[in-house]
Chain A
């Protein structure tokens, strides 16, 4: 009886524990997750504005990007928001929409476009939105050589609502080249009142196997222009395989290993395999001697 009683109490405790755990889990799962929407706009040199939003979900372990979430882009105007388009996020939680720089969306008093990205959310995820204001602009990158010195030239222009272009003045531009992990900064140029700035181009930048380099000029997080980029290619980079033609390096893409490595390897392999061959020769001699012994026995008999 005692056993039954204690068994019953144990079952009740376990059952109530399970119920509690279940209800707790159920309660946890019904509460939608908080989402964060990061929204930026980049004016690019092909006369377009890239609207980019990243949607992520916050949870206990940190945050993860939300896949397949519809993000709506709007132009905020005095008569109400005008929908530009809807894009679903990719595996990185990113939704990108391109619009022409010369567009019909209404600008505010400061000639700026006001844009908005909205994620409407659902039962599982909360809604989120973010705004971004910018004046469309353009950066043009070119190169020239003077007295054997190479220069990079950047011209910045802003696109007015009436379709005209005027130069950007007193803005800092970063000139960089994309590398494997990040952008390698080459120079920082302050554009003058005519919207033009130049800087000496470094001679020791490594390009691809033909010396090709992509040079990107960018204005980052400017209060008026937001993000603006422009790029151009040149052949002023060092050719990758010609970095040190007289000294083979240990890098895997160099065709020949360093001489010391080749010599060491040959010595070691010859040493080891020489011993192996010696041992094999001894085995062959053992086999031969047994044959000879057999022949001797046959002769004797």
Chain B
């Protein structure tokens, strides 16, 4: 079967998801917009009344905003790493899911930094970061790294989209508004798939696939160093860089599996996204779970055994005040994927998706446990302060803006799937539905 016939057939199949939005889809979008509006109101509340409406105070100056920032940045790097690595290793099975990984990267990369803005009390001073930035400051490293990463990821996504854009420009049966047609035409850059164009595109894509992996590792390490270069109990750790990278890819894998599950159900992609894809990404998640568990154990074991006064105090807080969160994050969040994917009989699409969802929640908790308890147990003791000032508890404003961030992520994902097929169509040849995969034996 020729490539053209194959992709035309696929485009014909995926056309409805781009051409029209069903009743349920409209309802879903309306719901997301409603949550976003709640976030807008919460933002107005925060800006008009100041940060006193949040749970952040003099002692605990970082809360769920920073947790969300780390979380979204994490899943974005995961998308980059997964799509880049699968591309470089020519993993044939990646094709139906790689577009989702790329979307996850870009969308979460756009949302993550917004939470930093929400955390800053004096937004008018934000330009000072650029105007008077000193490269000795880890915050400046982060600004440079994130902006470089955003540009790199957009470039990589664009390269990956180019062939599909060309196909969609040439696909006459597609009933979309004129602006969409013009958009495809402009963005396709006249790509027709000549030999020269294919070679150039392959070269650029290969090189960018390598770059996004490198950048993702650097950027998330920089984010980790913001914590680890400070002399705070629980943060001043040499393994924070790799620990953050592993945790990021782990959470991103979870998001990818959940996205695969929903898009498979909503757009009826059962033929393309099969149990094989869930198991393969599940195996990646299993390996990452083992690494994450190892890093977590190593981190806390050394702190506990060292018995340094403030580390002891921090571990006591983690096991007393945050007991359930700690257990969920570091035990359930590691063991469930290991068991579900590790035992062949448990490897079903539903089970793997549930495990992935648990991973997402566990990793959000993990970030919370890194940020908040440390600030609640500083080296300089908190004296003569009310309990509400010494301890952190997020307010409705913070939860609303968090929900708005998640809603924005879902909304952009949904809208992106209305412009570009959620499955790569240009080189998705119809592969035989083999079940001879080693993981399925």
Could you tell me which A residues sit within 8 Å of B by CB distance? 56, 61-65, 181, 250-252, 254, 257-258, 261-262, 265, 268-269, 272-273, 275-276, 278-280, 282-283, 285-287, 289-291, 293-294
Cβ contact of A261, chosen from B135, B190, B218, cutoff 8 A: B135
Verify B207–A291 contact, CB threshold 8 A.
no
Report the minimum CB–CB distance from A123 to chain B (whole Å).
Answer: 22
Which residue of chain B has the shortest Cβ distance to A265 in the bound complex?
Answer: B135
Contact B208 A286 (CB under 8 A): no
Checking A251, A279, A290 against B192 with a beta-carbon cut-off of 8 angstroms, the contacting residue is A290
- Which of A252, A276, A285 contacts B155 (CB under 8 A)? A276
In the complex, what distance in Å separates the CA atom of A282 from the CA atom of B136?
Answer: 35
- Complex interface: chain A residues within 8 A of B134 (CB): 252, 254, 257
Which of A63, A269, A280, A285 has the most chain B CB within a 10 Å cutoff? A285
Given the contacts A280-B155, A282-B203, A289 and B197 also touching, CB distance less than 8 Å: yes
User: Which residues of B line the A interface, CB within 8 A?
Assistant: 134-137, 144, 148, 151-152, 155, 158-159, 162, 189-192, 194, 196-197, 200-201, 203-204, 207-208, 210-211, 214-215, 218, 380, 384, 386-387
Q: A272 contacts which chain B residues (CB < 8 A)?
A: 148, 152, 211, 214-215
- Closest A-B pairs by Cβ, 8 of them: A290-B190, A282-B204, A279-B204, A287-B189, A282-B200, A257-B135, A257-B136, A61-B387
Contact B387 A62 (CB under 8 A): yes
* 26 pairs, CB–CB < 8 Å, chain A vs chain B: A56-B384, A62-B387, A63-B384, A64-B384, A181-B380, A250-B136, A252-B134, A252-B137, A254-B136, A258-B136, A268-B218, A269-B144, A272-B211, A275-B210, A276-B151, A276-B155, A276-B211, A282-B200, A282-B203, A283-B158, A285-B200, A286-B162, A286-B197, A286-B201, A290-B190, A293-B190
Q: Is the CB of A276 within 8 A of B152?
A: yes
* Alpha-carbon distance A228/B396, docked complex (angstroms): 50
Q: Which residue of A lies closest to B203 (CB)?
A: A282
Looking across the interface, which residue of chain B has its beta carbon closest to that of A278? B207
Chain A's nearest CB lies how many Å from the CB of B93? 25
Is there an interface contact between B194 and A293, defined as CB atoms closer than 8 Å? yes
Q: State whether A65 touches B197 (Cβ < 8 A).
A: no
Measured between C-beta atoms, what is the minimum distance from A67 to chain B in Å? 12
Nearest chain B CB to A50 CB, angstrom units: 21
Residue from B136, B162, B384, B387 having most chain A Cβ neighbours under 10 A: B136
**Distance between A261 CB and nearest chain B CB, rounded to angstroms:** 6
Would you call the interface of chain A mostly helix, strand, loop, or mixed?
A: helix
Given contacts A280-B155, A286-B162, 5 further A-B contacts (CB under 8 A): A272-B152, A287-B190, A290-B190, A291-B190, A293-B190
Which A residues lie within 8 Å of B200 (CB)?
Answer: 282, 285-286, 289
**Chain B minimum-CB-distance residue to A93:** B384
Chain A residues with CB under 8 Å of B189's CB are 283, 286-287, 290
State in angstroms the CA–CA spacing of A278 and B134 once bound together.
29
In the bound complex, residues from chain A placing their C-beta under 8 Å from that of B380 are 181
From A63, A273, A275, A280, residue with most partner B Cβ within 10 Å: A275
Chain B residues with Cβ below 8 Å from A251 are 136
Q: Min CB distance, A110 to chain B, in Å?
A: 35
Cα separation A254 to B405 with both chains bound (whole Å): 37
Q: Given A61-B387, A293-B192, decide whether A279 and B159 contact each other with a Cβ distance below 8 A.
A: yes
Closest B residue by C-beta to A273: B148
Please give, as numbers and ranges, the residues of chain B lying within 8 Å of A268 by CB-CB distance. Answer: 218
Contacting pair B196 A289 (CB below 8 A): yes
Chain A residues closer than 8 Å to B151, beta-carbon distance: 276
Which residues on B sit within 8 Å (CB–CB) of A250?
Answer: 136
> B211 to nearest A CB, angstroms?
5
Contact B136 A61 (CB under 8 A): no
Is the Cβ of A283 less than 8 Å from the Cβ of B196? no
Give A252 to B235 CA distance when docked, in angstroms. 20
- B159 contacts which chain A residues (CB < 8 A)? 279, 283
Q: Which of B191, B218, B384 contacts A290 (CB 8 A)?
A: B191
CA distance A265 to B134 in the complex (A): 12
B136 lies within 8 A of A261 (CB): yes
Whether the Cβ atoms of A279 and B155 lie closer than 8 Å is yes
Q: Within the complex, what minimum Cβ distance (angstroms) separates B141 from chain A?
A: 8
**Bound Cα distance A63, B390 (Å):** 13
Residues of A within 8 A of B214 (CB): 272
The answer to whether A286 and B386 have CB atoms under 8 Å apart is no
Report the minimum CB–CB distance from B354 to chain A (whole Å).
37
For B158, what are the chain A residues with a Cβ–Cβ distance below 8 Å? 283
Determine the distance from Cα of A252 to Cα of B139 in the docked complex, in whole angstroms: 11
Question: Residue on B with the closest CB to A287?
Answer: B189
C-alpha gap A56/B218 in the complex (Å): 50
- How many angstroms between the C-alpha atoms of A280 and B205 in the bound complex? 11
Instruction: Indicate whether A279 sits within 8 Å of B387 (C-beta atoms), given known contacts A262-B135, A286-B190.
Output: no
Partner of A283, one of B137, B192, B204: B204
Tell me the smallest distance from the CB of A277 to a CB of chain B, in Å.
10
In the bound complex, how far is the Cα of B137 from the Cα of A265, in angstroms? 12
Cα–Cα distance between A262 and B135 once the two chains are bound (Å):
8
Complex CA distance for A276 and B153, rounded to whole angstroms: 10
Complex: A278 Cα to B200 Cα, angstroms? 10
Question: Could you say which residues of chain A place their CB within 8 Å of the CB of B197?
Answer: 286, 289-290
A272 to B, closest residue via Cβ: B148
Most chain-B CB neighbours within 10 Å: which of A250, A272, A279? A279
The residue on A at minimum CB distance from B205 is A279
Q: Which of B190, B191, B208, B218 contacts A279 (CB 8 A)?
A: B208
